[in-house]
Chains A and B, each alone.
Chain A
Amino acid sequence: MKKPKVAFFDFACCEGCQLQVANLGEDLLDILDTIDVVEFREVMTEKWDQGYDVAVIEGSITNEHAIEKIKRIRERSKILIAYGSCATIGGVNGMKNDFELNEIEAHVYQENAKHFKTVPTMAVSQVVKVDYFVNGCPIYPPEFITVLKCALAGLPYHVPDNVVCVECKINENICMYDKGVTCLGPVTKAGCNSWCINNGNVCYGCRGMVSNPNENSAKDVLSKYNISLDLIKNKMNMYNKCRELNKNEKDKS
């Protein structure tokens, strides 16, 4: 069997996720046995100009040039994987939407797009069709491997719609709230095996919120720890700002 051709591309991001892949170690060798990496900025330089079986995209879409580029990649790829919070949910780059949305018309990325140099930060799926999502900032390497296996087997991957607490309790961590520290686990999508908490950190919500978070109750819980409402809002928005673009879209239609 011919090995599938896989390419990695990055947009606006810190390239931390590529680093995660480059650091996969032994697993990486196994992966390289099954795929052909044709473009990977972090570790290779040669350019491939034919089609890709799988394109792996990192980073969010923040300007015209990026929109054009991602569209071209999509055309040339059979399967497109968005990985990392920037690509899957807009991530931290979405924070800019808070400041600039006043200046940029909400409809800017439609017909008059070319008059503007910058566009609101968008997740990749807000521009082109995405087949697989690997959330996280950075990605959780075992999940990336799971998704890669799904892509190679032609199976859909469903990002868990349970919250991080589920995995956290299964790992028998002491709850951060019992330590008197706040944690975004109860509203954040699972799938990372709660690795931050396993390593003594709080969950800062990098995988984005579950589809139906109980935000009100989560705010109540947080507020018992004497945190101001603004801070709570910021905490929740840090990775989830780009959700609003979808909401606006829905309102329009």
Chain B
Amino acid sequence: MKNAILKKEKLDDFIKIMSKDEKVIAPVLKGNQSYTFTEVKSADEISLKYLPTILPPKKYFMPQHETLIEYDKRNGQKVHCVVEVEDLVIFGVHTCDLAGIQCLNMIFADRPKDMNYLIRKNRITLIGLECNSYCDEFASCALMGNHIPKGGYDLLFTDLGNYFFVEINTRKGEELIEKTNLFENADSNHQEELNKLRKLKESIFKPEVDIDKNEIPSLFKKKFESKIWEDIGERCLSCGNCTNVCPTCYCFDVLDIPDLNLKTGKRVRVWDSCQNEPFAKISGGESFREKRGDRKRHRFNRKFRYPVERYGKFFCTGCGRCSRTCMAKIDLKETIRDLIKEGN
């Protein structure tokens, strides 16, 4: 595979050329050390060093609010299934978030397929950005093996001082490079510097929790009745922050929004959360995960055990967002450590 380099001073041109034809999305500082993915027109708006954004890039693949059908019943029932799409280039996605998108891909491609997601996904170009060092102390990407790139991008940028090493992973990525005409071929020196960085990263990124990743599902199975869930449940506010910010959470609600004439309207889906109290309640009033502890346990199992059993994949990328956002300071790594510590 061919690789390329981009001198740093040319990044601005790169963004500007792209943004002429398409919306370019990149991480931007919002304030108080909080970042968001949002549209940019030039490189100086972008934060190249950033903590994982408040919401992960999943919001472009699976928007918070999304129309599924539009209806008109003035004259019989007329229904159109719709997909709202736009061509996007998302620049600067960390490897943990790329892994998150790969999880979503798996879910929505699983039969029965979700066409809304799949169609939208094909209109998005992904440009990754490797982390040279930890974002902050909440990360557990090394435990999950997501601190290094594992595909999921069209181009991958690695910051090597005054230039970016650019791995071209798809034809789509190559076309961008051809079109913008700002890149140079990578030679063996560049490759050598990349190898050095990767070597250095091996000494920086170490599994953050002392456990063999493959043992985690059985740990969660064994600890299903642990009192730890109850303890966490007592602290949890059921605010749903940890699921909304998670790059691999995909639960949603479906509801109708009629227009004022009550004859036309749309059916939408909106993000929902298994941490919310009414999520698993049925009409008789029975809730199948009534206690906060039940719901916390469900979330953790949906990251570290159920998807491994069902899809052969962990659904935690190690991005640390859930712990970073939790007001009650419920910490993912700490919870796993507590489960290990508790013994049998």
Contact = CB atoms under 8 A, between A and B. Distances in A.
Query: Is there direct touching of A and B in the complex, by C-beta distance under 8 Å?
Result: yes
Interface of A: 30-31, 33-34, 145-146, 149, 152-153, 161-163, 165-166, 169-175, 177-179, 185-187, 210-212, 214, 216-218, 220-221
Interface stretch (B135-143, B240-248, B332-340): B240-248
A169 B240 contact: yes
Contact of B273 (A166, A173, A177): A166
Nearest to B233: A214
Contacts of A153: 258, 262
A187 B236 CA distance: 11
B273 A152 contact: no
B260 A166 contact: no
Contact of B236 (A146, A169, A217): A217
B22 interface: no
A157 B325 CA distance: 31
A31 B262 CA distance: 12
Interface in B26-68: 30-34, 36, 54-55, 59, 64
Contacts of B59: 172
B235 A169 contact: no
A211 B32 contact: no
B262 A220 contact: no
Task: Across the A-B interface, give the 7 residue pairs with the lowest CB-CB distance, nearest first.
Answer: A165-B239, A169-B244, A186-B237, A174-B34, A166-B240, A170-B64, A162-B276
Contact of B277 (A161, A177, A186): A161
B276 A221 contact: no
Contact of B328 (A169, A175, A220): A220
B32 A162 contact: no
B277 A217 contact: no
Nearest to B63: A170
A34 B54 contact: no
Nearest to A165: B239
B278 interface: yes
8 contacts: A145-B260, A165-B237, A169-B244, A172-B59, A178-B32, A186-B237, A211-B277, A220-B235
B203 interface: no
> Which of A149, A152, A170, A211 gathers most chain B CB within 10 Å?
A170
Interface of B: 30-34, 36, 54-55, 59, 64, 234-241, 244-245, 257-258, 260-262, 270-271, 273, 276-278, 292, 325, 327-328
B260 A31 contact: yes
Contacts of B261: 34
B237 A162 contact: no
Contact of B237 (A31, A152, A161, A221): A221
A102 B53 CA distance: 52
B33 A187 contact: no
Contacts of B276: 161-162, 166
Contacts of A149: 258, 260, 262
Contacts of B241: 165, 169, 175
B25 to A, nearest CB: 13
Given A149-B258, A172-B36, A218-B237, 19 more contacts: A34-B261, A146-B257, A149-B260, A152-B262, A162-B240, A162-B276, A162-B277, A163-B237, A163-B240, A165-B241, A166-B240, A174-B31, A175-B34, A186-B327, A210-B277, A212-B277, A214-B234, A214-B238, A216-B234
Contacts of B240: 162-163, 165-166, 169
B242 to A, nearest CB: 9
Contacts of B33: 178
B30 A169 contact: no
A166 B327 contact: no
B146 to A, nearest CB: 22
A158 to B, nearest CB: 9
Contact of B278 (A161, A171, A187): A161
Given A162-B278, A163-B238, A177 B327 contact: yes
Contacts of B273: 162, 166
Contacts of A30: 260
Contact of B55 (A169, A186, A187, A210): A169
